[in-house]
Amino acid sequence: MISFRACIVFGALPLAALGADLAFEIPAVPVSLNIAGQVVTITVSGNVSGAPEQPLHLNLRADLSDLQSHMTPLLLAELNQSNRCGERISVERATLVPAAPAGRMTVQLHFEKWVCIKAFGKENATRLVGGNGTVQVLLTPRVDDGQTVRLDAEIGEIDADGSLGELLHSEYGNTLRDKIREALLKAIQKTSALEAVVPAQARPFVTIQSVEFAERGTGILMLNLMGRLTVPLGQVSSVLEQFRNR
């Protein structure tokens, strides 16, 4: 919150006469997600700082520790499939850890590929390849158009033997990468949406400049978002009051 001294100054002087820099803490706001029928809570907090006559700095911090603990059910819901003819995937375990400024997803899964062949009026399913494997995907948040957060995804280490390893290193590895990215992106975009923390009056003045994953403590993944709050001088006081009253 604004310091007691700053509050007195706000009440006594017009904002144009305020020469000191502002330092305004945004109270923590819980953002709820539904992942495979389970409620996941992400806490978003931050601050606004700078000189009133210039664009203000907006910093938001999202604690993703509860999301990290639900990676297995998240990917299980998004990736698991059991096609008679095609891929059969079963996610055994998934983890997401900091690799600042990115995050590293590690997925342990069982994978099979089946084909169906018709012969003598009957269709028979035959397994071409199958086994257990571990796939790592490096996920890096980016900003689009100063408003939207997206994720870049890059395949990391793949640990699987024989023909399954060859399949994951080639065609199906990229498919898994994209599915993993889309699964996590749904949660990240809801967390980073300005509606979660920024009052409606302030949103038209916000531009997101950068976003990155960071680590807090040991292994806790944070999403840090940095932006600018370009508020007309006459509206700074009322906009900050909206932040304080959320």
In this predicted structure, what is the pLDDT of residue 53? 76
Residues 72-108 have pLDDT tens digits of 999 999 899 999 898 899 999 999 999 989 999 999 9
In this predicted structure, what is the pLDDT of residue 148? 85
Q: Report whether pLDDT(7) > 60.
A: no
The reported pTM is 0.82
Residues 105-131 have pLDDT tens digits of 999 999 999 999 887 778 888 998 889
Mind spelling out the 3-state secondary structure of the chain? CCCHHHHHHHHHCCHHHCCCCEEEEEEEEEEEEEECCEEEEEEEEEEEEECCCCCEEEEEEEECHHHHCCHHHHHHHHHCEECCCEEEEEEEEEEEEEECCEEEEEEEEEEEEEEEEEECCEEEEEEEEEEEEEEEEEEEEEEECCCEEEEEEEEEEEECCHHHHHHHHCHHHHHHHHHHHHHHHHHHHHHHCHHHCCCCCCHHHEEEEEEEEEEECCCEEEEEEEEEECCCHHHHHHHHHHHHCC
Q: What does the pLDDT average to over 19-32? A: 80
Average pLDDT in the chain = 84
Residues 28-66 have pLDDT tens digits of 889 898 888 889 999 999 998 888 778 889 999 999 999
The residue among 139 and 119 whose pLDDT is bigger is 139
In this predicted structure, what is the pLDDT of residue 4? 27
The residue among 171 and 215 whose pLDDT is bigger is 215
